[in-house]
Chains A and B, each alone.
Chain A
């Protein structure tokens, strides 16, 4: 017997002066292999074409469709309804600016994040089109890729107690990005330069250690380890700095 699913969906379009925030209910018969991607499109096409939400790749790769699913941030496209109770509450991700209903502006937030951590290889070298590539061990390439797998979906930010309290908190995604570049020998930034970017209250010292970020990451990126590594290296850097001052005295 197919279940009748009850969806409670947050509705509000900030650019519409007549719109007020409220919850709206929809009912839908569950079908085999139904995901929230299928369900939400069904609701839009059959019941309410004004419903706003974001999907793009619908394959868990692009990070467009993160939302709060029964209170927990996750990608809607890879969430199967059979893994959920028959009553499903969908809310937009917090922290990010609301565009409408379940759609939030992650684009501006992540552009800002990428600018803040200077998310690119810093080097004084100039590309030589004639030269072979610099060698790298495959193991290191795989370690970098592990951290590069972040899809900037925003789940870790939405699940972060600190980011919800403090607008300028950088979030686990930024720490992971810094950790990725620290691993990469092509990036010539020094530890001191990295820590200038994240060694602050808005950065790694602002983290409350609740680790909601790691719990919800849909790509299972070891975010906790990156935070730990950064703090450890930062501490070691500070100790080295202290020693060199004592010795120079």
Chain B
């Protein structure tokens, strides 16, 4: 058994994981990253539109500052976020963007003088200031008061990831790609590293680390229709939940993006609407102005997705072999804009739809996109429940997004949280020693070996892996999607419990040595069903509507009872997660109120600690 030692083990080498590793390595610690794909193929690369930071260089962002970014983030979260974290985030983001510029990002820049832009389908003029010429510019995104989203065309995630990995190469950080962590090594008190499986050879390996980080991204692949890469199946959350002591936060908070293309669910960026693109229905008419007269197409994602599905339910969708869809129209932005600022969108339309977005509309429908929930940490990135264990990025519930993330805030989170958590880990490594208990290592390895052998030998049964996976994905898609009801959620929980039980009896059909893709999925699958149960059960118990969690049977946002974060742990042998709750924020800089879009009834909090600092309580409406 190969056993490797490192100061910091980063499980996941996307933007968040690599940013943490860069910080630790810069401070002289040995960092090792594990990644199931070569790091530059991580899903961070697929983020297109940009990264929010209140630089205020663009004229449409004039006067912007972290206070406004903070307020937008809190409103976007539907007051579900931790306000101390959102504050820390918005204050750090401008510097983080500049640091990325220093490391080589070719951010689009301010061009002084007159230019035109589109909003809600109409053309306007703006004048960029001479003194801002050449500084980092920004585009408009949903749910924001200012143009704040910094970008490199629509390949922002790609340039950030390549630049970050350049830093990894420069600093000589070890990256083991095609390696999947399948268990954490811990004694119920401290985390000591992980057991990992090499996806080139199929061999197991032990990584011992003084600090271990989960940065494996989201769990979108629990859903059938998702914009997420095929690797986003919640691997890090699975092994954290498996410990029995680490809680996952707000797993029911799952975002649907308005513009996944039909039928493949590939994302086209929010930048399309930010730059003035419009949504249209079967008659070729715009409709968002009916529902959201203020923000229109640029309300937050949860709100736009809901109205789109509502409009389709009203019979206004376009019929297709792949179900009803709507149109995204960017034709009026013109060929030059599309070919320079929306290059990936143009390519995706040509290659995957066979259409030209300069002359044709794009078929779109909301698709699962982002996991606000994840491994619960405090504001330093320290995971609840185990010492020496950290999480960052989409895999974490840090919790700056609450119940809805704003576009452009996820790339920003990876960079900002990576920086902050990296510093905290370096502090931790400075002062702490970890005792590696060989008994823990041996028992974890033994358990994983047994698990693998049983699956290969087919000792537990012959259940078909792919059929079960499809059943799980359908369950979440049909009953735990954009609109939710108690009845549907209850059925989803029951059906998922059956799948969870059947997953015990998976027998694989391929047994050859090597990576064996079927075995990889089989090892992960039961954990995936557990995550699905955390999502569905958390959603069932949350009897209110908040952000992306829209209960048709509880349509009010209930601040009286539900300014709480769900914490899910899984005790060995149980059939359901154990749910507990904690206050979602201790600091209330902005007391709960109207978001300004996505009208919904509010049951007000009476807690003076929450709303006591304001005179005028938000009214019932």
Interfacial residues, chain A to chain B (CB-CB below 8 A):
13, 15-16, 18-19, 32-33, 35, 44-45, 48-52, 54-64, 78, 80, 99-100, 103, 105-108, 110-111, 114-115, 118-121, 125, 127, 129, 131-138, 140-142, 144-145, 148-149, 151-152, 184, 186-187
Contacts and interface: CB of A to CB of B under 8 A. Distances in A.
Contacts of A50: 509-510, 512, 516-518
25 contacts: A44-B517, A44-B518, A49-B466, A49-B517, A50-B509, A50-B510, A51-B517, A52-B517, A59-B348, A61-B46, A63-B40, A78-B351, A80-B354, A107-B37, A120-B103, A127-B98, A133-B102, A138-B110, A141-B106, A141-B109, A148-B152, A148-B159, A149-B155, A149-B343, A186-B104
B508 A49 contact: yes
A47 to B, nearest CB: 10
A78 B352 contact: yes
B155 A145 contact: yes
Given A99-B200, A127-B99, A145-B155, 8 more contacts: A15-B201, A52-B517, A58-B264, A60-B348, A108-B177, A127-B98, A142-B106, A145-B153
A99 B266 contact: no
B324 to A, nearest CB: 17
A120 B158 CA distance: 15
Nearest to A14: B514
B359 interface: no
Nearest to B176: A107
Given A44-B517, A59-B352, A137 B109 contact: yes
A197 B38 CA distance: 24
B167 to A, nearest CB: 7
Nearest to A100: B514
A49 B42 CA distance: 24
Contacts of A59: 46, 264, 266-267, 348, 352
Looking at chain A's contact residues, is the secondary structure mostly helix, strand, loop, or mixed? loop
Contacts of B165: 114
B38 A133 contact: no
Interface centre among A54, A80, A107, by most chain B C-beta atoms within 10 angstroms, is: A107
Contacts of A99: 178, 200, 514-515
Nearest to B102: A127
B229 A62 contact: yes
Contacts, number: 194
A145 to B, nearest CB: 5
Pairs of residues from A and B, 3 with the lowest C-beta to C-beta distance, nearest first: A135-B134, A107-B38, A50-B510
B321 interface: yes
B46 A62 contact: yes
A129 B95 contact: yes
B335 to A, nearest CB: 16
A58 to B, nearest CB: 6
Interface residues of B, number: 72
Nearest to A63: B41
Interface centre among B41, B229, B466, by most chain A C-beta atoms within 10 angstroms, is: B41
Contacts of B600: none
B514 A62 contact: no
A56 B516 contact: no
B620 interface: no
Contacts of B159: 145, 148
B216 interface: no
Contacts of A134: 101
A152 B41 CA distance: 9
Given A127-B102, A141-B108, A186-B104, A52 B155 contact: no
A106 B38 contact: yes
Contacts of A56: 37, 41, 43, 229-231
Contacts of A19: 512
B513 A57 contact: no
A59 B264 CA distance: 9
Interface in B281-339: 321
B162 interface: yes
Contact of A49 (B106, B202, B344, B509): B509
Contacts of A57: 41, 43, 45-46, 229
B351 A136 contact: no
Interface of B: 37-43, 45-46, 95, 98-99, 101-104, 106-111, 133-137, 152-153, 155, 158-159, 162, 165-167, 169-170, 175, 177-178, 200-202, 229-231, 263-264, 266-267, 321, 340, 343-344, 347-348, 351-352, 354, 465-466, 508-510, 512-518
A237 B189 CA distance: 62
Contacts of B513: 13, 15-16
Contact of B162 (A129, A148, A186): A148
Contacts of A105: 178, 200
B169 A45 contact: no
Contacts of A136: 106-107, 109, 134
B521 to A, nearest CB: 9
Nearest to A219: B347
Contacts of A108: 177
Contacts of B135: 132-133, 135
Contact of B104 (A114, A121, A131): A121
Nearest to B134: A135
B348 A151 contact: no
Interface centre among B169, B343, B465, B513, by most chain A C-beta atoms within 10 angstroms, is: B169
A134 B347 CA distance: 31
A15 B200 CA distance: 8
Given A58-B229, A60-B351, A64-B37, A48 B109 contact: no
Contacts of A119: 166, 169
A142 to B, nearest CB: 7
A141 B200 contact: no
A186 B98 CA distance: 13
Contacts of A64: 37-38, 41
B507 to A, nearest CB: 11
Given A50-B518, A52-B514, A110 B230 contact: no
A131 B99 CA distance: 10
Contacts of B347: 60
B104 A120 contact: yes
Contacts of B515: 52, 99-100, 103
Given A56-B231, A137-B109, A15 B104 contact: no
Contact of B38 (A32, A35, A110): A110
Nearest to B37: A56
Given A61-B158, A99-B178, A127-B102, A35 B510 contact: no
Contacts of A184: 104, 106
Nearest to A60: B351
A142 B200 contact: no
A13 B513 CA distance: 8
A195 B37 CA distance: 32
Nearest to B156: A145
A152 to B, nearest CB: 6
A119 B107 CA distance: 18
Interface centre among A59, A60, A100, A148, by most chain B C-beta atoms within 10 angstroms, is: A59
Interface centre among A56, A105, A144, by most chain B C-beta atoms within 10 angstroms, is: A56
A105 B200 CA distance: 8
A19 B53 CA distance: 53
B202 A15 contact: yes
A133 B230 contact: no
B352 A145 contact: no
A144 B158 CA distance: 13
A141 B101 CA distance: 11
